Amino acid sequence: MSDVVLKVKDITKTFPGVKALDRVSFDIRPGEVHALVGENGAGKSTLMKALAGLHRPDEGQIFYQGEAIEVAGPLDARRKGILLIHQELSLSPELSVAENIYLGAWPTNRFGVLKKRELRRDATAALEALGCGFGPDVRVGSLSVAKQQMVEIARAEAFRANVVIFDEPTASLTDSEKDQLFHTIRGLKARGVGIVYISHKMDEIFDITDRITVLRDGQVQGTVDTRDTDLNQITRMMIGRTLDTYFVKAKAEFGAEVLRVEGLSNRPLFEDVSFSVREGEVLGLYGLVGAGRSELVETIFGVRRADAGKLFWKEGEIELPTPRQSIDMGMALVPESRKEQGLVLMMGGRENTSLPHLRLFSEVSVMNRAKEMAVFEKYRSALSIKTTGPDQAVSQLSGGNQQKFVLAKWLCADPKLIILDEPTRGIDVGSKSAIHELIAELAEQGLAVIVISSEMPEVLGVSHRVLAMSEGSVVAEFEGAAMTEEHLIDAVSHAREPVAAE
């Protein structure tokens, strides 16, 4: 076996208007975990898609096990032993686990009839090799996100992959699920599989990888051994400057209570939740994925209907609102999925920004375009959003810039309370700290802020107070010195134990 399993040389890929990859060269050794990092839109996914046969590079060569190859298509890549595990999972929910593992490559006889027994046997073997706790006949749609990811990883076993690429695999995993994933990755590594690992979470990068390659604007900035580098160096390579403070906390000057929730329930998603938040306060909502935090804030905002509970807005009790009423009161919700819940992708930034506040931007129902333009321009420069103009469809923007428009659309009407659901998921370190700064700034302007995050350092870093949620209930509340990682882990895992033992 050579010491390089896969090597790309001078790959260039251009999309209309963008040079996504510019003479990128890069190699993967067997048995290493190679990190690929860079800002949003740096070209990481594009590079990996080129390896997996989803994009055809304009120029450049790919060498696999020493030979120059052409990757004809995704199945070809998979057959050769190069497996890409997507940012968005690539599974068919209605099909079984076994069928998904071998999706598109099912064993059949000459007439296209499935060899079901063989399929099942091979799939079972792959699942067992990974130690998955489910069988091959389960419908994939009924599995949790983490388990669905296991199904994808099982493809590595099934196709005896030599290269496995993970594109932001932990974005929707809990900590324990992440540990499980790392365990699996180490298993693959031990068997000599070369692994590419893309992530924006630096702690993960330093935890599991052996080498780091940094991409910036489609160009390789360099490759370094993980042992020989540190966060500052990597950040500088990524964004051209270092970030001195990771987390800025707003000054703790609290005003009057803005929102109080008493006994709010929406069974079976969450039950009997009570808390309050004040002007100038950042309230963190920590929990594992699936704890019900998103559902909780969606219910407060009115997108979901609660079945019990009271809401108090500025000390006065209110009916459970509709989203319209919430917005009019001064509540804002930055939802967790910007593509599905946050933006109308074919609209431009201007129209997206005014969408929640049509009444403010109109007189007797007629839209006031000048007002819209003014606000658009204001936030374009305030948040330094990269867009060609007010009507460029936001679908053409990179993820980070999209997220900024989501923020703009909620900030422009001066809310009293802003709820941010996973505001930094999938966002590069540079933009991430910009968002952290923004949170502090908003609180200092007197807004009440609720931040949902699954990242413990983030939630501890930005909040004045943290609620820990587990299995649909608030299990603990921490403030000041009690806000430590140990306490949080303790709170959410203790609450889980009896359930796990069931």
Partner 1 sequence: MEQRFKRLLRRHGLVVAFLVFLAGVAFNADAFLTPGNILDVLRQVSITGMMAVGVTFVVLTGRLDLSVGSLLTLLTVIVVDQHNVAGPFPAIVMTLIAGLCIGAFNGLLVGFVGLNALIVTLAMLSFLQGLVLFYSGGSNVNVENAQDTWFAVFGRGEFLGLPLPVILFLVGAVIAGLVLQFTTFGRRVYGVGGNETASIFSGIDARWTVFWTYVISGFTTGVAAIIMGSRVMGAQNTIGQGYELTVLAGVILGGTSLLGGSGSIWRTVIGISMLGFIQNGLLLLGFPYYVQWLVTWAVIIVAVWIDLGAKRGRIFA
Partner 2 sequence: MSHTSTVTTDRSPALAALSWLLRNHIWVFLALTIIVFSLASPYFLTLNNLGNILTQGAFIGILAIGMTMVMIDGEIDLSVGAVLALASALAIGLQDHMGVWPAVFLGLMSGAALGFLNGSLVALSGMHSFIVTLGGLIGIRGLVFVYTGENALMVPDFSYTEIPEIYLGPVSLTAIIFFGLALLFQWVLSSTRHGRETYAVGDNIEAAHDAGINVKRHKIINFTLCGTLAAVCGILLSMRLGTAEPNAGRIWELWTIIAVVLGGTRLQGGFGSLWMTIGGVLTLAVLRNGLRLLNTPNYVELMVMGSVLILALVLDKILNRREAT
Ligand X SMILES: Nc1ncnc2c1ncn2[C@@H]1O[C@H](COP(=O)(O)OP(=O)(O)OP(=O)(O)O)[C@@H](O)[C@H]1O
365 interacts with, out of ligand X, partner 2, partner 1, none, CB within 5 to 8 A per kind: partner 1
Extract the runs of DSSP E, i.e. beta strands, from 362-456: 362-363, 366-367, 417-421, 448-453
Q: Is 501 in the site for partner 2 (CB under 8 A)?
A: no
Q: How far apart are CA 398 and CA 249, in angstroms?
A: 27
Binding residues for Mg ion, per CB under 5 A?
45, 294, 336
Q: Can you tell me which of 9, 63, 76, 328 binds partner 2, judged by CB under 8 A?
A: 76
| Binding-site member from 4, 18, 69, 89 for partner 2 (CB under 8 A) | 89
Q: Which CB atom, from 144 or from 229, has the smaller least distance to ligand X?
A: 144
The answer to whether 86 contacts partner 2 (rule: CB under 8 A) is yes
For position 63 contacting partner 2 by CB under 8 A, the verdict is no
Q: Is 97 in the site for partner 2 (CB under 8 A)?
A: no
Shorter beta-carbon distance to partner 2: residue 108 or 245? 108
Query: In whole angstroms, how close is the CB of 342 to partner 2 at the nearest point?
Result: 17
Instruction: In angstroms, give the least distance from the CB of 151 to partner 2.
Output: 11
Residue 95 makes contact with partner 2 by CB under 8 A = yes
Phi-psi region of 176 (alpha: psi -120 to 50; beta: other; left: phi over 0): alpha
Q: What does 42 bind: ligand X, partner 2, Mg ion, none (CB cut-off 5 to 8 Å by kind)? A: ligand X
Asked if 73 is part of the footprint of partner 2 (rule: CB under 8 A), the reply reads: yes
Contact between 223 and partner 2 per CB under 8 A:
no
Residue/partner pairs of 318-327 with CB below 8 Å, 24 or more apart:
326/300, 326/301, 326/302, 327/356, 327/357, 327/413
In the bound state with partner 1, the residue whose beta carbon lies nearer, of 68 and 346, is 346
- Distance (Å, whole) CA 498 – CA 300: 28
Of the candidate residues 1, 68, 105, 355, the single one contacting partner 2 (CB under 8 A)? 105
Long-range contacts of 171-175 (CB under 8 A, 24+ apart): 171/87, 171/425, 171/426, 172/145, 172/289, 173/145, 173/146, 173/149, 173/289, 174/146, 174/288, 174/289, 174/290, 174/454, 175/288, 175/454, 175/456, 175/489
Other residues' Cβ atoms within 10 Å of the Cβ of residue 429: 21
Q: Could you write out the DSSP letters of every residue in 244-307? A: S-S--PPP----SEEEEEEEEEETTTEEEEEEEEETT-EEEEEE-TTSSHHHHHHHHHTSS--S
x/- site string to partner 2, residues 443 to 472, per CB under 8 A?
------------------------------
The 3-state DSSP class for residue 477 equals: strand
Q: What does DSSP assign to residue 348?
A: B
User: For binding to ligand X (CB under 6 A), which residues are involved?
Assistant: 15, 18, 20, 38, 40-46, 144, 172, 287, 289-295, 336, 398-399, 422, 454
Which does residue 69 touch among partner 1, ligand X, Mg ion, none (CB within 5 to 8 A, set by kind)?
Answer: none
- Which residues touch 92 (CB under 8 Å, ≥6 apart)? 99, 100, 103, 140
User: Residue 335 binds what, of Mg ion, partner 1, partner 2, none (CB under 5 to 8 Å, by partner type)?
Assistant: partner 1
For the CB of residue 279, give the shortest distance to partner 2 in the complex, in Å. 36
Interaction of residue 75 with partner 2, rule CB under 8 A: yes
85 near 164, Cβ under 8 Å?
yes
Residue ranges that bind partner 2, judged by CB under 8 A: 52, 54, 73-76, 78, 84, 86, 88-95, 99, 103-106, 108, 111-114, 116, 138-139, 141-143, 145, 148, 268
